[in-house]
Amino acid sequence: MTVTNKIDLKNINVNPTGKGVFGFSNFAETWNGRMAMIGFVAGLTSEVITGKGILAQVGITNTAGGYLVALFLGGFTVAAIVGYYAVKLSNPVQIPQDESSSIV
């Protein structure tokens, strides 16, 4: 028995049309991911070189500063999730099904 993958990978995307809704376009998200990877590697490199964590390098050494950073990151995460679902719900993806494939 041979199982083939019938998922069209072009339809699995934040916004398959490529049009920007709230700024979420394929081009912008590709570059956002690339810059995030560069920033992560730069942060790790600076920690190795200086021996201090990223927050200590920018002067946040107390607990209140850590809570502020956690609050910012939490808010940013919620905003990103809301934006993702706003795009996803405004453009539902229709996945064509073959006549031969059926869900049993």
- Three-state secondary structure call for residue 24: strand
CB 32 within 8 A of CB 23: no
- Give one word for 33, left, alpha or beta, with left for phi > 0 and alpha for psi -120 to 50: alpha
Residue by residue, pLDDT tens for the chain (104 residues) are: 555 556 555 555 555 565 655 666 677 778 889 999 999 999 999 999 999 988 888 888 888 888 888 899 999 999 988 887 887 777 666 666 665 555 55
CB 87 within 8 A of CB 15: yes
Domain count, the chain: 1
CA distance linking residue 53 with residue 30, whole number of Å: 28
Whether residue 26 is contained in a domain is answered as yes
Whether residue 30 is contained in a domain is answered as yes
Domain that holds residue 86: 13-90
In angstroms, the Cα distances linking 76 to 80, 91, 94, 98 are 6, 23, 30, 40
Q: What is the model's pTM?
A: 0.47
Which pLDDT score, from 0 to 100, does residue 78 have? 93
- 52 closest CA partner among 64, 63, 43: 43
Whether residue 82 is contained in a domain is answered as yes
Whether residue 3 is contained in a domain is answered as no
The residue type at 93: V
Which pLDDT score, from 0 to 100, does residue 16 have? 56
Whether residue 50 is contained in a domain is answered as yes
Whether residue 99 is contained in a domain is answered as no
